[in-house]
Structure 1
Amino acid sequence: MKERNSNSYLRSAELAHLCGLSTDTLRHYERLGLLTAGRSANGYREYPPQSPDRIRLVQNALSVGFTLEELARILKIRERGGAPCTEVRALAAAKLKDLEEQLCGLSVLRSELRTMLGQWDLRLAATRKGDPAYLLDMLQSLPSPLEGTRRTLLRARRGNSAKRTTANRGSQ
């Protein structure tokens, strides 16, 4: 993000250029309550001088896995005088747990792909040049451990989402 040394309000194009975003993105952030903008006498959006800092917060939150909706909810709590620190930490902890589950699933998938590639290499080595090795047939005939892995990951994600949704409703 480029530096700016002015305390004046920023128009959409100026803020977008300064932060490397599109004006559509700024309007989207505004609709979600992540940014606020006033209007000039001629109807142009005018963003407060601290808007680049708010955009940096949004970008950093997105980069660690928060959604725009989660961030909007958290900022709304803060703007109403609340201290959303516990909720922010709980969301981050849930994201870490989800990430660890995904990494575990990816590790299993990597192992299964390595095994499959090893089997295919053996089949290719045993197949005469020009003859089909029927690798896709081998893939089709394999038992479906990948499906079980995917199902487990999906169930875990759904369960965590449901827990967070329930917890979020209770905290509001």
Structure 2
Amino acid sequence: MAHSAAHSAAHPVEAPSRPAGRMLKIGQLAECSGLTIRNLRFYADAGVFGELPRSLKGYRLFPPEAIHWVGILRTAQAAGFSLEEIQELLRALRLNQVPCGHVREALGSKLSALEAKLAEIKVLADILRAALGTPDGQSSPVGCNIMETLLSEASRLPKLSETKH
């Protein structure tokens, strides 16, 4: 029993009361994965998990590897992958047809987009710091000195044509 408890602590996504290899109901997957039942229903209805069997009472049943699918889904979603891109990745995973080159290319593209967004956020943070460092007053042509700083710093922002539409 102590081994089981230690194993559960080391692998928190695994449900301690669920025997290995047994199908999961949506509530069990929610508990194991950290997603809500509502979110899981949305993804299941969108086809992200493929065709799911149902119990005799009509409950969706998820295979044990769905815990891993949800982990990939959450990471991919946070990285900016679209629902369609996530569906494609998970479909390939379910079919054991994951070409690493394709995954590497997709991840590289998302990393580039995230790094560009991070650079943009850093510029925006610098602009706000500069504005906050401006003393109060009404001596500028636009009135508030802080607003004048925002206006003068606007040239540091990327052009609209350079950003995602």
- TM-score w.r.t. the length of structure 1 is 0.66
Structure richer in helix, relative to its length = 1
What is the SS of the residue equivalent to 1:39?
Answer: coil
What is the SS of the residue equivalent to 2:164?
Answer: helix
Instruction: Give the C-alpha shift of residue 42 in structure 1.
Output: 2.1
Partner residue in 2 for 1:45: 60
Unaligned runs of 5+ in 1: 125-132, 159-172
**Does the C-alpha gap of structure 1 residues 26 and 106 become closer, same or farther in structure 2, counting only changes over 3 Å?**
closer
Instruction: Give the C-alpha shift of residue 38 in structure 1.
Output: 0.8
What is the SS of the residue equivalent to 2:28?
Answer: helix
Aligned pair count?
146
Give the CA RMSD over aligned residues. 2.9
Partner residue in 2 for 1:130: none
Distance 1:57 1:140 in 2: 44
Distance 1:60 1:115 in 2: 34
Instruction: Give the C-alpha shift of residue 72 in structure 1.
Output: 0.6
Check whether the contact 1:32–1:69 (CA below 8 A) recurs between aligned residues.
Answer: no
Correspondence 1:97-136 to 2 at 5 A: 97-118=112-133, 120-121=134-135, 124=136, 133-134=137-138
CA deviation vs aligned residue, 1:3-56 (integer Å, no higher than 9, x gap): 234122111222222323222111112123322421112212121222222222
Unaligned runs of 5+ in 2: 1-11
Check whether the contact 1:98–1:157 (CA below 8 A) recurs between aligned residues.
Answer: no
Partner residue in 2 for 1:156: 163
Match of 1:3 among 8, 11, 14: 14
Instruction: Give the C-alpha shift of residue 108 in structure 1.
Output: 2.6
**Does the C-alpha gap of structure 1 residues 34 and 144 become closer, same or farther in structure 2, counting only changes over 3 Å?**
same
Partner residue in 2 for 1:19: 33
Check whether the contact 2:23–2:62 (CA below 8 A) recurs between aligned residues.
Answer: yes
